[in-house]
Amino acid sequence: MPIPRRSWAEPFKIKVVEPVRLTTPGQRLAAIREAGYNTFLLKSEDVYIDLLTDSGTSAMSDRQWAGMMLGDEAYAGSRNFYRLEAAVQRLYGYRYLIPTHQGRGAEHIISRILIKPGDVIAGNMYFTTTRLHQELAGGRFEDVVIPEAHDPASEHPFKGNVDLAKLEALIARHGAARMPYVSVAATVNMAGGQPISLENLRAVRELTARHGIRVILDATRVAENAYFIQQREPGYAHKSLAEILREMLSLVDILYMSGRKCAGVRGGLIATNHPEYYNRLLEWLPVYEGFATYGGMSTKEVEAMAVGLREMTDPTVASASADFVKYFVGRMVEAGIPVVTPAGGLACHVDASRFLSHVPQADYPAGALAAAIYLVSGVRGMERGTLSTDRDKEGRDVLADLELVRLAMPRRVYTMSHIEYTVDRVRWLYEHRDLVQGLQWVSEPPVLRFFFGRLRPLNDWGNRLADAFIADFGEAV
Ligand code: F0G
């Protein structure tokens, strides 16, 4: 039996509150129009429950806030850096630390230093900024995640696993000299926050070691991944999260993370035990991020990150956020709403292909669903489908394997009633799903188009949906 949590209630109480405002359906219709049907372009004051991301939106603990007061704002050699370094050494077993301003700063430096034009980077599904940095450095990304990752209904416990046969075939085709590293992510974001197993990570390590290829881990949500290993992988039920984490990290050469997620801090880091990588990466740090002891973060945040990394391995912290997502997913399943299962570690992902099965993929069903959810609830989610994938070199749309709307859970921010409200409104929308149709472009940026792109609803369905909602709920909610 896995180690049980001692209570299912949230392991914190609330010390500071921030009021939220529920707008009327008329105001929401105006806001989503103004935003070009793109939830990234909504003003946050028009959002009631913000589930866009768990990035930089989590609540810090009282100890982290206390740590902020200890920030020693020195350009070089601040004491907070040495505290973060000590935390990385003790928790991760890694000697060298490079702070960065956030995760993509780490991706930029790693890609720029380690990738040569023409290189191939295999990974367990892409993440938007990760792949773009690999491509900007002249590399080509190849997805080697197992096929179950692309099936929202598959109950595979480790949908983030690498397909070893695919990886081996890729090495045979391109040769190890063309593959500077394999890019492995924990709690794979685009697959719905799905974990990788230790057995699989070990096998990746053995396979790549035979060919002299390094492994780099995107450890952005690694604490949740460790928790899933404890809960789901035979042989790990009685190991602590700290032990599982150390075992995972002993299998990779470099890790980087966005501290904005599970460490709850606006920053990032790279860590390694290899002095040669450390020195090569460090050289470029002051050019793009900042000096070696702050890397673009404020030292207040460096200190809060040191505290956050320790809290991350506290069994009640990682398990509480993953169990909260599980509760959300479970309530959506009970309401009959198609979502990605099993629950992952960062969000409830609504399966737009099944929810809006009448909307062709070329009309961006996940984008339409994200806008429709906002319209009927004030809840902001994020499109994770074809809109989030840029066009190919010939200018053709690349249809995504998964059309998802991500309802991400910032840590320690919302309560069960916020979840109940969200489920209730999404259930109403599901009953009226035939009113929702697709989207078309008004203006489309060439890269990472999902951030700033503007769209319009085909056949003006936004008005009809708002009218149906008002007929059931009235003008005021
Ligand atoms: N890797 C993963 C797996 C991520 O989820 C993110 C960010 C990054 C790298 C980049 O880190 O934002 O600190 O620069 N994900 C956010 C999200 C943006 O909403 O999923 P960053």
Is 0.85 topped by the overall pTM?
yes
Same domain membership, residue 359 and residue 276: no
Assess whether 201 and 339 both reside in one domain. Answer: no
60 and 265 Cβ atoms separated by less than 8 Å = yes
Whether the predicted pLDDT of 255 surpasses 60: yes
**Number of the ligand 1 atom closest to the C-alpha atom of 188:** 3
Average pLDDT, the chain: 95
Residue ending a domain, among 285, 311, 337, is 311
Is the model more confident about 156 or about 73?
156
CB contact set of 242 (below 8 Å; sequence gap of 6+): 91, 313
Residue 14: exposure state from Cβ atoms within 10 A (0-12, 13-18, ≥19):
exposed
Confidence band of 3 (pLDDT split at 50, 70, 90)? low
Whether 326 is a known active-site residue: answer no
Domain enclosing residue 212, as ranges: 62-311
Atom of ligand 1 nearest to the CA of 346: 20
Same domain, yes or no, for 307 and 322?
no
Q: Into how many domains does the chain fold?
A: 2
Residue 371's CATH number = 3.90.1150.10
Nearest to 401 by CA among 52, 131, 129, 149: 149
Question: Residue 267: CB within 6 Å of ligand 1?
Answer: no
Does the active-site annotation cover 75?
A: yes
pLDDT 10s digits, 22-49: 999 999 999 999 999 999 999 999 999 9
- Residue 11 located in a structural domain: no
Same structural domain, 233 and 117 = yes
Residue 15 lies in a domain: no
| Nearest Cα residue to atom 18 of ligand 1 | 55
Distance 128 CA to ligand 1 centre (A): 8
- What does the pLDDT read at residue 270? 98
| Nearest-angstrom CA–CA distance, 366 and 427 | 16
Task: Tell me, yes or no, whether 305 and 334 share the same domain.
Answer: no
Q: Residue 60's pLDDT is what? A: 94
Place of tokens 């999260």: 241
Helix axes 103-114, 128-136, angle to 10 degrees: 30
Q: Do 168 and 292 fall within a single domain?
A: yes
Inside any domain, residue 12: no
Q: How far, in Å, CA of 227 to CA of 219, rounded?
A: 13
Q: Is the C-beta atom of 258 inside 6 A of ligand 1?
A: yes
Please say whether the beta carbons of 202 and 251 come within 8 A. yes
Report the atom number in ligand 1 closest to the C-alpha of 102: 13
Residue 255 forms part of a structural domain: yes
Phi/psi region, residue 474 (left: phi>0; alpha: psi -120 to 50; beta: rest), is left
Residue closest to 374 by CA, chosen among 457, 315, 446, 297: 457
Catalytic residue among 46, 119, 163, 218: 218
Q: Is 384 a catalytic residue?
A: yes
pLDDT tens-digit profile of 436-476? 999 999 999 999 999 999 999 999 999 999 999 999 999 99
Strands ordered across the beta sheet of 404-408: 347-351, 404-408, 382-384
Is residue 283 located within the same domain as residue 335? no
Domain limit, last residue, from 292, 311, 330: 311
Specify the CATH number for the domain of residue 299: 3.40.640.10
Q: Is 110 exposed, middle or buried (0-12, 13-18, 19+ CB in 10 A)?
A: buried
Let me know whether 192 and 113 are in one domain.
Answer: yes
Ligand 1 center from residue 56 Cα (angstroms) = 10
* 217 within some domain: yes
351: part of which helix (H) or strand (E)?
Answer: strand 347-351
Q: DSSP 3-state assignment of 264?
A: coil
For residue 435, report the distance from its CA to the centre of ligand 1, in Å. Answer: 33
Cβ atoms 62, 250 nearer than 8 A? no
% of residues, the chain, pLDDT over 70: 99
Q: Which residues pair with 227 in a beta bridge?
A: none
Atom number, ligand 1, closest to the C-alpha of residue 104: 14
Identify whether residues 293 and 321 lie together within a single domain.
Answer: no
Residues 381 and 410 in one domain: yes
Give the rounded percent of residues in the chain with a pLDDT score beyond 90. Answer: 92
Mean pLDDT calculated for residue range 3-26: 86
Residue 3, domain member (yes or no): no
Residue 7, domain member (yes or no): no
Q: What is the pLDDT of residue 4?
A: 55
Catalytic annotation present for 464: no
Q: Verify that 331 and 367 share a domain, yes or no.
A: yes
Pocket test of ligand 1: the residue of 54, 58, 127, 225 to mutate, having most ligand atoms within 8 Å of its CB, is 127
For residue 2, pLDDT over 70 is answered with: no
Q: Is residue 2 part of a domain?
A: no
Answer with the one of 311, 331, 362 that is the final residue of a domain: 311
Are 340 and 226 in the same domain? Answer: no
Residue whose C-alpha is closest to residue 71's, from 266, 246, 362, 262: 266
Token pair belonging to 272: 């390694």
DSSP conformation letters of 202-240: HHHHHHHHHHT-EEEEE-TTHHHHHHHHHHHSTT-TTS-
